[in-house]
Amino acid sequence: MTDLQSAPAPAWASWPERPGAPAWTIGVEEEVMLVAPPGYNLAQAIDEVIPRLPSDVAPQFHRETHAAAVEIATGVHTNVAEAIAELRTLRNAMHDTCAPLELQVASSGTHPFAVSREISVSRGERQAAVYGSMRELARREPTFALHVHVGFADADAAIRTFNRMRVHIPMLLALSANSPFWQGRDSGLASSRTPLFQAFPRVGIPRRFENFEEWVRTLDLLVTCEAFPDPTFLWWDVRVQPRVGTIEIRIMDAQITLDATRALVAMVQTLARMEHETAWAEEASHAAPEVHDENRFLAARDGVDVALIDPVQRRRVPLRERLDVLLPILREHAQDLGCENDLLAINDLYETPGAGYQLRVARRTERLPGLVRQLCAEF
């Protein structure tokens, strides 16, 4: 055994001990945008908004890299209904705080017509660190994501599920794709947020890790050599979070409505439980990284119309066909988790995806400003 392998695990890799804690807990984070009527441009105003939030909910709102963005984070919940109810309360608090400032709030993967020269970086220690590392990349057009944490009792179970969840990243991206516009143009992509965010390092579908120890060794070298301060500076599409004892799915575009969000949260929770208990995607998880990367691009481009590469069957599989196979299996897990109806709402999201909705609204007389006005109304 080498010295590297025998070295004690660093403090940041410690997994929390929670004996008797319920399994499959969830936490939800959504990044939303501040906009200023009547033009509905992004409002670089987070430093005005944060101090005015009600004290009882203020700790659940966080600055993001960009001054027009804020992260709304729920607490830990055992079921989807509780998490979405809290998100609704937090969205209302955000709306009510912004109204006296003549600001509004909207949720989408990108702002449809923002350009980088109008963007400011938020004030804050972490944001300064990001800018110091990323330089002007941090000032590109902001992107807005939906993140879902799923709790695990131990690190080994988490890393095994992490490996398999990589296979589902393109499917979750396709279902959540909600950013067809970039710099005022139809990008031709269902999720322009995906390639925009790709400008950051440590982004995309990570490789497999044989066990948690290998994951720790890999990251410890990078942290020790000060490539980045801690594992939260990994912006992978799925990542392990030892600090809170979760795996975190980060690939999804922020959703316009909470109905869309609840369907995706339910799918992530049930997928994680299914993969832990049945290892459904184990064989596919060993596919070459080029397969996963290509599927990710296809999903960002085509959204719900995507046909994903199946490395086991060696053919392209339409998303609808993939869902028809998976949903009956997931439904059994959803029944145990109390989110069956939430999971089945995925069918509604498939039929009326966010990207398609935005394209339709943008064809109206008010065009892109009218689209943002509608996004604010839906918030």
Task: Return the HEC string of 197-255.
Answer: HCCCCCEECCCCCCCHHHHHHHHHHHHHCCCCCCHHHCEECEEEECCCCEEEEEEEECC
Are 229 and 221 contacting, i.e. CB atoms less than 8 angstroms apart?
no
The one-character DSSP state at 328 is H
Separate counts of helices (H) and strands (E) for the chain? 15, 14
What value, to the nearest 5°, has the Cα angle with vertex 248 and ends 374 and 327? Answer: 75
In this structure, which amino acid lies at residue 143? T
Identity of residue 219: L
CA distances 31 to 49, 87, 92, 307, 351, Å, are: 15, 12, 15, 28, 24
| Class level of CATH domain 3-169+177-257+352-378 | alpha beta
- Please say if the pLDDT value at position 300 is more than 80: yes
The model's pLDDT over 253-280, given as tens digits with 9 standing for 90+, comes to: 999 999 999 999 999 999 999 999 999 9
pLDDT band (50, 70, 90) for residue 2: very low
Summary mean pLDDT of the chain: 92
Work out whether strand 145-151 and strand 104-106 pair parallel, antiparallel, or are unpaired: unpaired
Dmax (CA) for the chain in angstroms is 69
pLDDT over 90, % of the chain: 80
CA distances from 175 to 253, 314, 323 (A): 9, 22, 10
Peptide bond into 311 cis (omega under 30): no
Is the pLDDT at 181 greater than 80, yes or no? yes
Structure-token pair, residue 342: 């939430």
In the predicted structure, residue 284 carries a pLDDT above the cut 90: yes
| Residue 3 confidence (pLDDT) | 43
Q: What is the pTM of this model?
A: 0.93
Where on the phi/psi map is residue 202: left (φ > 0), alpha (ψ -120 to 50), or beta? left
Q: Are 190 and 353 in contact (CB under 8 A)?
A: yes
| Residue ranges covered by each domain of the chain | 3-169+177-257+352-378
Tokens 């399994």 sit on residue: 23
**Contact 211/217 with Cβ under 8 angstroms?**
no
Distance (Å, rounded) from C-alpha 85 to C-alpha 178?
22
